[in-house]
Structure 1
Amino acid sequence: MQSIVTLTSLIAFFSYLGIGLALLIAAVVVVALVTPHRDFTLIRQGNTAASLAFSGTLIGIALPLQAAIAHAVSLVDAAVWGGLAALVQIVAYLLARAVVPGISRQITEDKISAGVLAAGISIAVGLLNAASMTP
């Protein structure tokens, strides 16, 4: 009987997971740095709008990262496409902020509608970003 999990597959799993997590963390840090409001501080203070917006950011970045990893032919391929996916999400966030200039202030003021809108934009762009990554 052949084992389903081999050492090679286990190494590949942890390698792709590591690339995905590294890109996710890097992208989230960049988004946190470009937002005028302080996501983590607001979330610690119980700000629901910030929590919703940040959750949307995480999902919006993770969706195309998943597609990049799923379609990758190598770790380098996954890293390049994953990095591009993260960059697209960051640009989408900046564009959304330009279209809705007061969104950061509204999130700081815990206006739930602003958090939901920010999350929705991130997730929608993430879905389109992911769907665009075809083998």
Structure 2
Amino acid sequence: MESFKLLLSFSTYFFTGIVMLMAFLIIYSRITPYNEWCLIKANNEAAAIGFSGASIGYVTPLASAAINSVGLADYIIWGGVALVAQLIIFFAVFLAIPHLGQRIENNEKAAGIFLCAASICGGILNAACMSY
């Protein structure tokens, strides 16, 4: 019986995490000035690199929230905090790199790599700050 309860708890957190990740990907791609999904389908490596970094940068604190949360509602709230943090990081990079959107659309990999690195660094810092 205990194993069933553990499996139920795991499933609840895991599938909630998948739903939050999908929501993040949809929201993030709607906020950016370019369509990551279309660019990736067109084999744009800069978009794939930047979007992958944002995904890792989101999932890292989401994993920390799963470990440290006191309940499902707490987990979801911290998932929202991680989403906002990644959007702030995107806008900071957008302001720091002139014409970021156009550079990503033009498949300039340096822009995608920098966005990726900033997203992952921000996600690691965010995750560390969630370990209370």
CA contact 1:27–1:87 (8 Å) conserved in 2: no
Q: 1:115-126 to 2 correspondence within 5 Å?
A: 115-126=112-123
Match of 1:95 in 2: 92
Match of 1:32 in 2: 29
2:105 counterpart of 1:108 = yes
CA contact 1:49–1:110 (8 Å) conserved in 2: yes
Question: Please, which of 45, 49, 58 is the counterpart of residue 48 of structure 1?
Answer: 45
Report the identity percentage.
31
What's the TM-score, normalizing by structure 2?
A: 0.94
Q: Which stretch shows the higher mean deviation, 63-72 or 100-109? A: 100-109
Match of 1:23 in 2: 20
Q: Which stretch shows the higher mean deviation, 96-105 or 115-124? A: 96-105
TM-fit CA distance, 1:42: 0.7
Match of 2:130 in 1: 133
Give the 3-state SS of the residue equivalent to 1:110 in structure 2: coil
TM-fit CA distance, 1:101: 3.2
Distance in 2, Cα, partners of 1:122 & 1:100: 14
Q: Which has the higher helix share?
A: 2
2:4 counterpart of 1:7 = yes
Distance in 1, Cα, partners of 2:64 & 2:106: 35
Q: Which sections of structure 1, spanning at least 5 residues, go unmatched?
A: none
Q: Which sections of structure 2, spanning at least 5 residues, go unmatched?
A: none
CA contact 1:65–1:82 (8 Å) conserved in 2: yes
Distance in 2, Cα, partners of 1:19 & 1:85: 14
CA RMSD of aligned residues (A): 1.3
TM-fit CA distance, 1:95: 1.9
